[in-house]
Amino acid sequence: MAYNRYIYDKAENVLSFRRQKAFQDAEERRQKIYSKLPRVREIERQLASTGFSAAKAVADGSSDIKTELSKLKETNQRLQTELRILLVKNGYTTADLEEQYICPLCTDHGFVDGRMCGCMKNLLREITFNELNSLSPLALARFDTFDLSYYPNTPDENGKVPRVRMEKIFNFCKNYAEEFDGHGKSVYMEGGTGLGKTHLSLAIANRVIERGFGVIYCSAPDILEKMRFGNFSKNFSRETLGHLEECDLLILDDLGTEFPNPFSSSCVYNLVNKRILLQKPTIMNTNLSHEQIKKFYTERFLSRMIGEQIYLTFIGKDVRITRGRMK
Ligand SMILES: [Zn+2]
Secondary structure class of 313 (helix, strand, coil) = strand
Indicate the DSSP class of residue 237.
-
Amino acid in position 295:
K
Give the domain extent around 164: 135-326
Q: Is the pTM of this model over 0.85?
A: no
Beta-carbon-side half-sphere exposure of residue 241 (alpha carbons within 13 Å): 16
Cβ-based neighbours of 188, under 8 Å, separated by 6 or more: 283, 284, 286, 305, 306, 309, 310, 311, 312
Within-domain flag for 320: yes
pLDDT in tens, 208-231: 888 878 888 888 887 777 776 654
pLDDT tens per residue, the chain (327 residues)? 456 677 788 899 999 999 999 999 999 999 999 999 999 999 999 988 887 777 777 777 766 778 888 888 899 999 999 999 999 999 999 999 999 999 999 999 999 988 889 999 889 888 877 776 665 656 667 898 888 888 888 888 888 899 999 999 999 999 999 999 988 889 999 988 888 898 899 889 888 888 878 888 888 887 777 776 654 455 566 667 788 888 899 998 888 877 667 777 788 888 888 898 899 999 999 988 877 877 777 777 777 777 777 888 888 777 665 555 543
Within-domain flag for 25: yes
Within-domain flag for 115: yes
Amino acid in position 171:
N
Within-domain flag for 127: no
Which of 301, 198, 304, 296 has its CA nearest to residue 251?
198
Q: How far is the CA of 116 from the centre of ligand 1 (A)?
A: 8
Cβ-based neighbours of 322, under 8 Å, separated by 6 or more: 150
Residues 100 and 178 in one domain: no
Task: Determine the Cα–Cα distance for residues 283 and 272; give it in Å rounded to an integer.
Answer: 10
Q: How far is the CA of 194 from the centre of ligand 1 (A)?
A: 44
Residues 115 and 196 in one domain: no
Q: How far is the CA of 90 from the centre of ligand 1 (A)?
A: 31
pLDDT for the residue numbered 241 = 78
Residues 199 and 108 in one domain: no
State how far Cα 187 lies from the chain centre: 22
Task: Determine the Cα–Cα distance for residues 74 and 82; give it in Å rounded to an integer.
Answer: 12
Within-domain flag for 266: yes
Q: How far is the CA of 19 from the centre of ligand 1 (A)?
A: 11
Within-domain flag for 260: yes
Three-state secondary structure string covering 244-296: HHHCCEEEEEEECCCCCCHHHHHHHHHHHHHHHHCCCCEEEEECCCHHHHHHH
End-to-end CA distance of the chain: 50
Residues 281 and 321 in one domain: yes
Q: How far is the CA of 104 from the centre of ligand 1 (A)?
A: 7
Q: How far is the CA of 108 from the centre of ligand 1 (A)?
A: 5
Which of 122, 91, 88, 147 has its CA nearest to residue 18?
122
CA of 138: how far to CAs of 109, 191, 283, 311, in Å?
31, 21, 15, 23
Residues 184 and 157 in one domain: yes
Judged on CB neighbours under 10 Å (0-12, 13-18, 19+), 253 is buried
User: Pick from 71, 95, 119: which residue ends a domain?
Assistant: 119
Number of domains observed in the structure of the chain? 2
pLDDT in tens, 157-182: 888 899 999 999 999 999 999 999 98
Residues 156 and 303 in one domain: yes
Q: How far is the CA of 124 from the centre of ligand 1 (A)?
A: 12
